[in-house]
A and B are shown apart, each in its own frame.
Chain A
């Protein structure tokens, strides 16, 4: 019976237009979804449970609005849903300290997460938690097998490596060839009724503070050409003007 935790995060829909208002992004009109890579993490967590037995808990950190992604995870098949109650921004140190304390409280043995969240793109939480817990970690895995232990495939210089991972561990998931399951009607009904276990954790102050959000600098208009013959001129400019060939 393995105690499996999957970390999920609510992020703006990746198709959404991001608007900066004043010096902060304005996400009020943006649809929020589970971060895409977290969907692969949920899938792998469920496969782990099916292979070895155990229970899967989806864990998020956020305000009450983030319950939506927990319910989504529940509809797909996780057993328990837990939210660390927090509004506001935290640096990686404060965030991970809070999550690590809840992982200990929940008795986590294996933690799955997406390789990075679609909002920050940082990918720091998985390996950071592993270090705080004193656990093994492998990031960006594209395949997972449960053959007594856990064996993963992750990118390595010049190809891939097949790696044995001891338990306890944190594994961050890339897409690979994974197909994620969709919720069925029964799952959706159960998710509606499911109660979120809300945890209050004192979160330490951050030493990295957000100063401002800005729009990316506009790129100056490039040179445009009509017709395939222009490729010769572009190749020359890549060498003589851009100096990249």
Chain B
């Protein structure tokens, strides 16, 4: 296979594939988190499985981290190259006349989501790694739900989550259907893909917002 990542289209296809991979991850993450609203016991059970299963921990987790890092690094690399392609700016440029704000500002929504991921890793992933692989604490299958609820005590942190997921919604609003276009899918199914993408962009991020607000307000 020639042309691996050395042309604009190859880089775009890699970007689309990593984006679609992250969309799949986001879906399963949402489904698991949503169980915390319905059944704390089920949430603990699933989280315990995900936190202790060797396949998840030592294969899927590194693949996921690679996917996230790749998507962001490639996103920045493409943005840099795109900025270089217009070395002199227009005195007047009416971008809104022919393209939506979300499609023109994927780098902004992406950077907010990246900043959020930093907080998210600090909140959940780092303590989890310390708990399991540095302090070697004994596994407690019932610890996950209280840990989750505790994180949403702070109104500031909950607010940051809400804003970040709103930006993720904007990112997905364009990104979902854009990934299919990049993969060469533009046919009679495209209107359905666009509708599915916009539905996904609303349901999943605002589903996460609902979970955060549910646990925040349930504590009072």
Chains A and B bind each other: no
By a beta-carbon cutoff of 8 Å, the part of chain B in contact with chain A is: none
